[in-house]
Structure 1
Amino acid sequence: MTSFMVQTLAATGGLQREFTYDGLRATEAKFSKGGRRPVPADKTADVRVAYLEGRSIAALDRDYGVSRGAIRTAVADLVTDRTAIEGDAPAPELPVTLGMPGKVADFLRTAELEPAERAALDQGVTVRRGQGYTLLVTAVPAVHHRLLARCQPLDGGPGLPAVPAQRKARRECVNRVSTLTP
C-alpha cells in the first residue's frame, strides 16, 4: 500500500514538471520572456530620481505598475547613496538582553549606579537556576559595558580580597558582554 502511494506521488510530481516545461515552451514560442516585468526603460531615470527624493519602493511600484523587486533592481546602486544623503548620524543602539550571574547582580545592587544602569537592573527578570539565579538585563550595549566596568572590584586588587565565586561570576559576565560591540 505504501509503495503505491509513493509511486502515485512521484508520478504527480513528474506531471507538474511537465506542465511547467510546457508553460515555459509556450512562453518562448510567443517570443516573450518570463518573469517579472522590469521598469520601462524610458521611466527608469524617473524612478531613480523619485527614489533619491525619498519616495518609498512601495509607492513607486504602485505608481509604475511593476513589482517591488523591479524597483529595487532599478535603484540597486542608489541604496547606499540614499543612506549617505539621509545623514551621517549613527544608527541607534538596540537593547540587548544578557544574563547576569546573581552574584554580580547582588554586588551591583549595592553599588552607586547611574539612573540608566539602576533602571536596567531594576527591570531585570530573575531566572532561578539551581541554588543561584541569573538576572536577565535588557539594555543598550553601552549600559552593559558600564555595568561591567563597575564590577571591577570583584576581581580583587590592592587592599581588596577576591572572592573566587564572585570572580568566576564576573568572568561569565565579561564573556557575555564582550560579544557586544562597544
Structure 2
Amino acid sequence: MRTGYLDGRSIAALAREHGVSRGAIRTAVTDLMPEHTAAAHDDTPAPELPVALDMPGKVADFLRAADLEPAERAALDHGVTVRRGQGYTLRVSAVPAVHRGLLARCQPLDGDQGAPAVPAPRKARREYENRVSTLTPTGP
C-alpha cells in the first residue's frame, strides 16, 4: 500500500485493491507515513470565513467618513441596509479580522481625552463591539 501511494495511485484505487474503505486507507497512510501527511497540512492555515454582523447606522455613518483599508471599505460598500424604526442597521459580511479592524477604527465614538462621548453613538459602538466579541478570537 505504501509503495502504491508513493507511486501516485489514488486512495480510491488502493481501497478497491485491498477491499477496505477510503477512510481506512487515509488512516493507514497517516499512520505509516506521518511525514508526508503532516507537511501537507502544516503550511496551510484554515481560511477565515465571512461572517454577517449587523452594524448600527451611527457606527456605519462614522466609518464611512473615516480613512479605511480597502477591505474595510469594500465590506462597508457591500453592506445591506436594513431599516429599523427611525434609524437603520447595516448588515456587513466580512471575515472576522475586518470586523475587528472596523471596531478599532470606531474607537473615537467612546470619547477622547478632551471631548466627552455622545451617548447614542457610544451605545451604538458598544452594541457592535458586543457582536464582534462573539466571533472566535484568532491567534494568541
Alignment TM-score > 0.5, same fold = yes
In structure 2, stretches of 5+ residues that fail to align are none
Alignment length, in residue pairs? 136
CA distance in 2, matches of 1:106, 1:49: 61
Correspondent of 1:134 among 79, 86, 89: 89
Identical-pair percentage: 74
- Give SS of 1:133's match: strand
Decide whether the 8 Å contact of 1:104 with 1:170 is kept in 2: yes
Deviates more, 1:112-121 or 1:84-93: 84-93
Range that drifts further, 78-87 or 152-161: 78-87
Query: Which position in structure 2 is the counterpart of 1:176?
Result: 131
Q: Which residue of 2 aligns with 1:70?
A: 24
CA RMSD for the aligned pairs? 2.9
1:155 alignment partner in structure 2? 110
Q: Larger deviation: 69-78 or 133-142?
A: 69-78
Give the Cα–Cα distance (whole angstroms) in 1 for the partners of residues 102 and 127 of structure 2. Answer: 13
1:83-112 CA-to-partner distances (Å, cap 9, x unmatched) read 531143422222222111111111101111
Contact 2:80 / 2:92 at 8 angstroms: preserved in 1? Answer: yes
Whether the 8 Å contact between 1:93 and 1:141 is mirrored in structure 2 is yes
DSSP-derived class of the 2:127 partner: helix
Question: Hey, what's the Cα distance between the residues in 1 that align with 2:83 and 2:68?
Answer: 24
Structure number, greater radius of gyration: 1
Report the TM-score when normalising by structure 1: 0.62
Equivalent AA in structure 1 for residue 74 of structure 2: A
1:68: how far off? 2.8
> Which structure is richer in relative contact order (CA contacts within 8 A, separation 6 or more)?
2
Q: Cα distance, 1:66 vs. partner?
A: 2.7
Q: 2:30–2:37: 8 Å Cα contact kept in structure 1?
A: no
Structure 1 portions without partners, runs of 5+ = 1-45
Q: Secondary structure at the match of 1:165?
A: helix
Q: What is the identity, as a one-letter code, of the residue corresponding to 1:169?
A: A
Three-state SS of the structure 1 residue aligned to 2:62 is helix
Question: Aligned-pair distance for 1:132?
Answer: 2.1
1:91 match: 46
